[in-house]
Structure 1
Amino acid sequence: MDCANALKTSSRWHLILATFLAGMSMMASAASKPAVHTVIIDGMQFSPATLEINAGDTVIWKNKDPFPHTATSLDKPGFDSGEIRTGGSWRYVAKKRGSFPYDCTLHRTMRGVLIIK
């Protein structure tokens, strides 16, 4: 192989490697961005009842019932939405890892679990 061909082959490999590394970098940055999750309150229940998320993610509880509810962790310290009015919502940024059972303090039969990885 002469020098010109060797240079072309080397340049192609550098281009392929650079493209691969750029793609990997974009995938890593996309994977590390916090996500937003929604829990719908409707029919006297949380949906989904169990939600698994990553630390740094945001959870939004949206109340579609005709009366107020809360999303209050059973373990203290934890999270407490206070009353979420009809048509209202509350957002929480998950920081502490673990499994957090929660309920509506106004309707104790309504239960959910937030799992933070």
Structure 2
Amino acid sequence: MLLRAACVLAVAAPLAAAAAEHTLTMEGMKIQPASLVVQRGDKVTWVNKDVVPHTATAKGVFDSGQIANGAKWTWTATKAGDFPYVCTYHPGMKAQLTVK
């Protein structure tokens, strides 16, 4: 009887949600969207559509290094929190990433 109940519970349990993918663009010396909320395990990709290189840098959390024109960089969100970040080459390019 216990085995039957365990099997029913295993089948009825919801499957874990697949990680989502999010894309941000760097264009016109701006990061869009400027604010993004993701879940732990989600993948976040920055795409540089400007003619100059950029970075996506949240001190102590992530640092893309140089993202060349036409290139992209992907980071997997593993730590929950609010993370303001900048392009270290162009400090006026600021954005906010929140990981739940």
TM-score, normalised to structure 2, is 0.85
CA–CA separation in structure 2 for the residues paired with 1:82 and 1:41? 14
> What is the CA RMSD across the aligned residues, in angstroms?
1.6
Are residues 1:89 and 2:76 paired?
Answer: no
Are residues 1:68 and 2:53 paired?
Answer: yes
**Which of the pair is proportionally richer in strand?**
2
CA–CA separation in structure 1 for the residues paired with 2:43 and 2:96? 15
CA–CA separation in structure 1 for the residues paired with 2:77 and 2:52? 26
Q: Give the residue type in structure 1 aligned to 2:20.
A: A
SS at match of 1:51: strand
Shift of the alpha carbon at 1:32?
1.3
SS at match of 1:109: coil
Q: Give the residue type in structure 1 aligned to 2:90.
A: H
**Which of the pair is proportionally richer in helix?**
1
Q: Give the residue type in structure 1 aligned to 2:64.
A: S
Bigger Rg, which one? 1
Which is bigger in relative contact order (C-alpha 8 A, separation at least 6)? 2
Partner of 1:55 in structure 2? 40
Q: 88, 94, 97: which is aligned to 1:111?
A: 94
TM-score, normalised to structure 1, is 0.73
* Structure 1 outlier segments of 4+, above 2 Å: none
CA–CA separation in structure 2 for the residues paired with 1:81 and 1:89? 9
Aligned length: 91
What are structure 2's unaligned runs of at least 5 residues? 1-10
